[in-house]
Amino acid sequence: MSEKKLWKKALAFVMTLAMVFGLVAVLPKEVKATTSPTVTVTNVQYSVNESGEHTAAITFTYSGGTIPSGTPVDTVIGLSDGSSNLDYNTYQIDGGHGTGLSLVQNPDGSYTLTASPVQWTISGSAPNAGAAICVGVEVGGVESNRLDINVPENGGETSAGSSTPDSGSTTTSDSSSETTTPSTASSGGGSGLSYEAIQALTAAATGQTTQQTATPAATGTTMESVKTASGKKADGAYEVTNSEKKQVTWTAGEAGEKKTEKVVVGNKVTKDGVTYTVTKLEDGALGQVEGLEKVTLNVTKITAGAMEGCKTLEKIVLGKDVQKVGVAAFGDEVGAKVSSLTVSGKLDPKNIDMAAFTGVGTEAEKLSVAIETDDTEKYEALKAKIEDQINDGLDRKTLDEVNALANEMVKQGIVTPDSITGKAPIFSELNQSIKDEQKWREAVDKYAASKGVESPSGFRDLQEKLLEKEKSKVTYKQVKSSK
């Protein structure tokens, strides 16, 4: 190859390299992506002092390291259901801040923004009942997650009209606890302190009274899914009998649709934030409950027909709020199988109507009557009234038994029937109606032996022996009053 050709090839190669390197030189350098810093609230503390002043301390982390001077730092406060927002103040680094706000950097690099006193002012529509307050921060326009303000574990949920933490107590919500929301959430989970509870906390600290704003249901309304005073689901349903006085009557409801062995009816129930007084039971309502064996009643009044239809009862408990027991409320078949009766000593014997307990225990093998009171005088007065009525029931039972035996003897020709009634005159002292003394003696002795009593001298004597045996199965005891 000639020198000239070699030179041309070398020149072409150099030019090619130059073009390649030149191209590389004009290619843009790799641009690293820039991301905004993240803000994560890790803890919210809330407290109320004796003057009713509220303090909120919000601890958060800032992924950008130190917050630059002049960066606005805001508290972001709202309600978990989104119904409205609450006014908040702004704190700006090296640029002044709202009244009562301060920001400090902690040794671990996190920040704590403190607002005291906190002013909870609704800036939207009225919050829904029970909506939890949730708190977050905004740093330089970057908003954090929000955490619910929660009450202490030993304080329970606080709402208007219910128990509140003691003044000076602190409530805490931590991002590591189960009751808070993940860091990606924009609002609280709704399980924390409600706006109504904020008002209740202030009232508790200052001794004020918080007004209950919930509206009672209209008269005639039947309420299901009602709660007891302790917060448990109440048995049955409740009909509002007086909305203004917040009075209700117990009805069977769901309890009457299935077999239920035990029913408890307390004196107070709550529904939608309103507390009602249970004044009585609907007549025959308990009789609708299949298989009912035990009732615990703490209503104001047990009316005459309240227990109508109850044929399987074995245990009855009447609480301290029972003020009256109506005529024959536990008479006849209602209390026949009852083996245990407990009555509060607060029940005035004068408010036990005629024959209220005459049916109790007539068919039971044993009957135990307990009266809860620390006052022996009250025990004796209440025992005397109940014992008289139970004995009346046993007297009627044994009289019916002897009548049945005597009239069977009339059919067999052993006893002459009364000329007017056609039945045996069983209380003839001289037993003048007996036609066949030997057959009468055999029949009556056999019957007495079957009942476990001694041989009687006549029908009256037989009935008295049966009555004494029935009375012996009943025991009465005074027990310590339950507080």
Name the pLDDT band for 213 (thresholds 50, 70, 90).
low
pLDDT of residue 169: 44
Better pLDDT: 418 or 23? 418
pTM of the model: 0.56
Name the pLDDT band for 189 (thresholds 50, 70, 90).
very low
Better pLDDT: 2 or 411? 411
Q: Would you list the DSSP string of 384-440?
A: HHHHHHHHHHHHHHHHHHHHHHHHHHHHTTSBPPPTTTSS--TT-TT-TTBS-HHHH
pLDDT tens sequence across 34-84: 577 899 988 888 776 665 566 778 888 998 788 887 788 877 766 655 544
CB-based burial label for 45 (10 Å; 0-12, 13-18, 19+): middle
Name the pLDDT band for 198 (thresholds 50, 70, 90).
low
The fraction of the chain above a pLDDT of 90, given in percent, is 34
Q: Which of 134-143, 159-168, 410-419, 473-482 has the lowest mean pLDDT?
A: 159-168
293: left (phi over 0), alpha (psi -120 to 50) or beta: alpha
Ranked by mean pLDDT, the top range of 148-157, 185-194, 423-432 is: 423-432
Asked whether the predicted pLDDT for residue 153 surpasses 80, the reply is: no
Domain borders along the chain are 39-206, 396-475
pLDDT of residue 430: 41
Give the Cα separation of 141 and 19 in Å (integer): 48
pLDDT of residue 26: 41
Query: Minimal CA–CA distance to 331: which of 359, 352, 310, 308?
Result: 359
Mean pLDDT, rounded, of the chain: 75
Asked whether the predicted pLDDT for residue 470 surpasses 70, the reply is: yes
